[in-house]
Amino acid sequence: MRIGLITAGSDSPGVNAAIRGFGKAVANAYKMDVLGFRDGYLGLIEDRKVNLLEGTMLSGILTQGGTILGTSRHVPESMPGPEGPIDRTQEAVDSYHRNNLDALIIIGDNKSQSAAYHLSQAGLNIITMPKSCENDVPRTDKSIGFDTAREIATEAIDRLHTNANATHRIMLVELLGNCSGWLTMGAGLAAGADVILIPEIPYDFDVVIEAIHRRKAAGRNFSLVAVAEKARSKELVDFMELAASKRAESADEQEKAFERIENNYSAQTLLLARRLGEATDLETHITILGSLVRGGTPTAADRLLANQLAEWSVRMAADGQFGHMACRIDGSVTSVPLDEVAGKAKLMPLDHDWIRGSFQVGTCLGIPDLPVA
């Protein structure tokens, strides 16, 4: 059996552990050849490959961040071209057959999972593994990279705590969170942030300001605010929803219009910092962690998850279970059909115990009461 493997989408710690786990499982228990394609789907299209089982390629990579194969966010159906995006799906299919592949393993983020399903629909034998520092790939408890990102973010907020106390500032820490608040909520709650703002819960400026005023009245002249990059105020969300409803009629069209409008409103964390500073007379300071949480040595939990999913993916390939994503649900490794993953988001449930717990310890989520699920 001849297997191809790519790593696609945003970088996440633990991907090398998954590559190593897959290669080691194949070498020790199965008769398979494994070709790695560089830089994600682009490397598959351009046929830039290496033999992963040759020489020492898998040696010493368990603890390394990044991916030895490289990655990119390009997907076959929308590759960059001289005059805009072009569909190169057929080139990806041709490369698959030219290399006599029996299956293609894709370690990818949310967008990459959708592209994998697209290739599966094009007739290729596809198996995927989820990786995401934001933990936004649906139908799995955790994605590879999330645990490491949360640890890095928690330590960063811990370190900013002492600086905020010493300088009497409002410290805003912006974290990855394009559609979901798993990373911001997990790290914020673990580090004892005073305010946590996530995309799932549009926040009220007045509620946040009041929370900081209460801290000042209690003699605490500093605050820590953990905010996801796509957290939005309620007034902005209401405006965008109204604008979207005027531009489209159906629910699907309104959702697409909302996304287009939202893309025009960046720097919301800067606006939040300015309003908090003006309302509280405290200096504000923004730290954007961004890609910092994607780097470095993966945690033991991420390495273990990567090995589990890699070993399971090898079994899936041997058993011919294609069109599925290897995942972990309720602590057990299993698989789910790609059509249950592609194009879907993994939002934090409003009744999640992290959200309930934050209210119980007095953390402000930008709303006066617990959200209704």
Residue carrying structure tokens 């991916």 = 67
Q: Is 366 a domain residue?
A: no
**What is the distance in angstroms between the CA of the first residue and the CA of the last residue of the chain?**
47
Rounded to the nearest 5°, which phi and psi values hold at 328?
-125, 120
SS3 41: helix
- 263 and 306: one domain? no
Q: Say whether pTM exceeds 0.85.
A: yes
pLDDT band for 63, please (50, 70, 90 cuts): very high
Domain that holds residue 141: 2-145+298-340
DSSP category for residue 99: T
Examine the pLDDT at 136 and tell me if it is beyond 70: yes
Q: Report whether 297 contacts 182 (CB < 8 A).
A: no
Indicate the SS3 state at residue 287.
strand
CA distance 41 to 93: 11
Does residue 137 share a domain with residue 7? yes
Q: Provide the domain count of the chain.
A: 2
Q: How far apart are CA 177 and CA 187, in angstroms?
A: 12
Q: Is 64 helix (H, G, I), strand (E, B) or coil?
A: coil
- Contacts of residue 281, defined as CB under 8 A and 6 or more positions apart, other chains included, come to none
Residue 252, judged by CB atoms within 10 A of its CB (0-12, 13-18, 19+), counts as exposed
CATH code, domain carrying 45: 3.40.50.450
Q: Are 207 and 90 members of one domain?
A: no
Let me know if residue 193 belongs to a domain: yes
Residue owning tokens 């696609």: 8
The reported pLDDT for the residue numbered 295 is 93
Say if 373 falls within a structural domain.
Answer: no
Contact 57, 22 (CB under 8 A): no
Q: Are 137 and 129 in contact (CB under 8 A)?
A: no
pLDDT tens, position by position, 243-283: 888 887 787 888 888 888 887 777 899 999 999 999 999 99
